[in-house]
């Protein structure tokens, strides 16, 4: 039997297919519970948030704000604290740096409300200039500030020494464990912070909230660092880093997203420039003995791939929610069986920056179009306002985790 060459058949098939109504399977674009709009940001560019209406954004007016309506925000805890005298940049140094004011906000990245309803503001001390240069910090700029939400007053400021927050560190996100039996020295609990520096000084930072002491762990291992030549694609577009006056490069940001297990015994984190998630026992990170760094490194577990994530969050069922920015989604990691599944997916999702679980049983998260910012390829700001704060109902009655000794009282 004589063979018929496909090359001769192809034009015939195309000519007969034209004009016919042929249907192919296509991506539905959505999955999971419906998204609800919690806030639309027309001025601010949001990153961190907490559902008690506090969040942080970046512009010339304020770096921490409170949501007052669906589309309006005001400076928090007050406008004065958000406006350092003469601005947040110190031009007397060469090159310029962020200012060293301990009583003012310089460059806030994250805000978190703990189990005692206290707001904590994480200040990087670093400032992004108008031409997208991220300036280094100096002592006094990087700090953790506690605010009493009942009267909106600052009641505690923990300043990080240069041996903990380097000039090129970037203090990204923070989680709190307030169980009093964790610390013999203070009994006030601990904070865990990621250093996501694009310059390579990545690590986890631990803070004793009572004494104010802080230290670094895991600063020498790959689990907190970026994957070499990491190149994500958001909405089909490549995401290169494009700082002003420098050539394009791939993303190199390290440990960023962070979450505590529901019982506080494990800390989860992920570098931005990686699709892997890692975990380590919190007891190893709190340890400061002679072999503590060796033991901390040896305790790290690679939990496998879960998508490109910025923020992480935990609910009361122990589920770990992780961004999947390349998939327009939020995934969920189940520590009981090690699986990663899609929780919610929607075409309106691009860059999920920060997630926060509230006592109302919703997962809140910011979508801030970071992938379209002026510090990415092709060095033009392609973001379209408004930016979004979405919320989605958690499954199985999930709610906010409370890591708190029962007899503790509210307040500082």
CB-CB contact of 204 with 216 (8 Å): yes
Check pLDDT > 80 for residue 234. Answer: yes
Lowest mean pLDDT among 34-43, 72-81, 237-246, 395-404: 237-246
Residue 347 CA to residue 232 CA, distance in Å, equals 17
Q: Which residues are bridge partners to 387 per DSSP?
A: 41
pLDDT at residue 220, as a whole number = 85
Residue 187 lies in domain:
29-397
Contact 321, 303 (CB under 8 A): no
> Which is nearest to 196 in space by CA: 292, 274, 140?
274
Share of the chain above pLDDT 90, in %: 81
State the pLDDT at residue 53. Answer: 47
Mean pLDDT (whole number) for 301-312: 97
Q: For 286-310, b where at least 16 C-beta lie within 10 A, e where not — what string?
A: bbeeeeebebbbebbeebeebbbbb
Q: pLDDT value at position 274?
A: 97
* Number of domains forming the structure of the chain: 1
Query: Can you give the C-alpha Rg of the chain in angstroms?
Result: 23
What is the overall mean pLDDT for the chain?
91
E-assigned strands of 218-319? 233-234, 237-238, 255-260, 266-271, 276-281, 301-305, 312-314
Note the pLDDT of residue 43: 86
Residue 7 within a domain: no
| Residue 402 maps to a domain | no
pLDDT digits (tens, 9 = 90+) for 243-289: 777 889 998 999 999 999 999 999 999 999 999 999 999 999 999 99
Structure token pair of residue 312: 């992480």
Least confident of 2-11, 96-105, 275-284, 396-405: 2-11
Give me the mean pLDDT over the 223-228 stretch.
Answer: 97
- How large a percentage of the chain has pLDDT more than 70? 90
> In this predicted structure, what is the pLDDT of residue 8?
47
Q: What is the DSSP letter of 282?
A: H
Residue 50: predicted pLDDT:
76
- pLDDT on residue 295: 98
Determine the pLDDT at residue 243.
Answer: 76
Checking phi first, is residue 132 left (phi over 0); if not, alpha (psi -120 to 50) or beta? left
First vs last Cα of the chain: how many Å apart?
A: 89
Residue 15 domain-assigned (yes or no):
no
pLDDT in tens, 38-48: 999 998 889 88
Q: Please give the backbone phi and psi of residue 113, each rounded to the nearest 5 degrees, phi first.
A: -100, 125
Query: Considering the domain boundaries, does residue 48 fall inside one?
Result: yes
Give the tokens for residue 350.
Answer: 């691009």
pLDDT of residue 242: 86
Asked if 359 and 400 touch (Cβ cutoff 8 Å), the reply is yes
Mean pLDDT of 364-392: 94
Q: Is 90 exceeded by the pLDDT of residue 195? A: yes
In a domain? residue 39 = yes
Instruction: State the average pLDDT over residues 151-165.
Output: 97
Instruction: Average the pLDDT over 167-183 and give the result.
Output: 93
Q: Which two tokens stand for residue 23?
A: 């249907």
Question: What pLDDT band is residue 24 in, cutting at 50, 70 and 90?
Answer: very high
In which element (H, E) is residue 111 found?
strand 108-113
Whichever domain contains 190, its CATH number is 2.120.10.30
Gap between the Cα atoms of 232 and 112, Å rounded: 28
Residue whose pair of structure tokens reads 């920056």 in the numeric block: 353
- Can you give the pLDDT at residue 132? 80
| Reported confidence tier of residue 5, pLDDT bands at 50, 70, 90 | low
């Amino acid at each position: 039997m004589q063979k018929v060459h496909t090359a001769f058949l192809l034009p015939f098939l195309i000519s007969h297919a034209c004009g016919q109504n042929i249907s192919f399977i296509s991506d539905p674009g959505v999955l999971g519970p419906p998204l609800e709009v919690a806030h639309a940001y027309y001025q601010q560019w949001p990153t961190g948030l907490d559902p008690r209406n506090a969040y942080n954004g970046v512009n010339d007016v304020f770096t921490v704000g409170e949501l007052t309506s669906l589309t309006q925000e005001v400076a928090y805890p007050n406008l004065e604290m958000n406006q350092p005298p003469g601005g947040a940049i110190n031009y007397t140094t060469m090159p310029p740096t962020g200012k060293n004011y301990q009583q003012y906000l310089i460059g806030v990245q994250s805000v978190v409300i703990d189990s005692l309803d206290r707001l904590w503001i994480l200040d990087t001390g670093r400032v992004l200039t108008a031409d997208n240069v991220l300036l280094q910090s100096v002592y006094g700029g990087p700090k953790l500030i506690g605010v009493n939400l009942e009267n909106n007053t600052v009641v505690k400021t923990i300043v990080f020494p240069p041996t903990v927050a380097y000039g090129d560190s970037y203090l990204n996100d923070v989680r709190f464990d307030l169980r009093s039996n964790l610390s013999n020295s203070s009994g006030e609990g601990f904070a865990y912070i990621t250093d996501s520096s694009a310059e390579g000084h990545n690590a986890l930072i631990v803070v004793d909230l009572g004494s104010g002491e802080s230290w670094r762990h895991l600063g020498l291992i790959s689990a907190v660092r970026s994957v070499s030549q990491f190149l994500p694609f958001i909405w089909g577009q490549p995401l290169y880093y494009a700082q002003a006056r420098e050539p394009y490069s791939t993303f190199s940001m390290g440990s960023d997203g962070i979450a505590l297990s529901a019982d506080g015994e494990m800390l989860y984190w992920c570098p931005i420039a990686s699709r892997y998630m890692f975990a380590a026992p919190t007891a190893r990170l709190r340890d400061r003995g002679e072999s503590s760094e060796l033991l901390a490194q040896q305790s790290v577990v690679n939990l496998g791939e879960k998508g490109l994530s910025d923020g992480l969050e935990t609910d009361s069922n122990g589920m770990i929610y992780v961004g999947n920015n390349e998939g327009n989604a939020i995934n969920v990691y189940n520590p009981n069986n090690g699986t990663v599944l899609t929780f919610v997916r929607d075409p309106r999702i691009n860059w999920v920056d920060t997630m926060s679980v509230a006592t109302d049983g919703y997962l809140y998260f910011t979508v801030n179009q970071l992938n379209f910012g002026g510090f990415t390829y092709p060095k033009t700001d392609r973001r379209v306002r408004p930016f979004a704060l979405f919320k989605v109902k958690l499954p199985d009655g999930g709610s906010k985790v409370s890591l708190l000794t029962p007899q503790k009282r509210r307040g500082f």
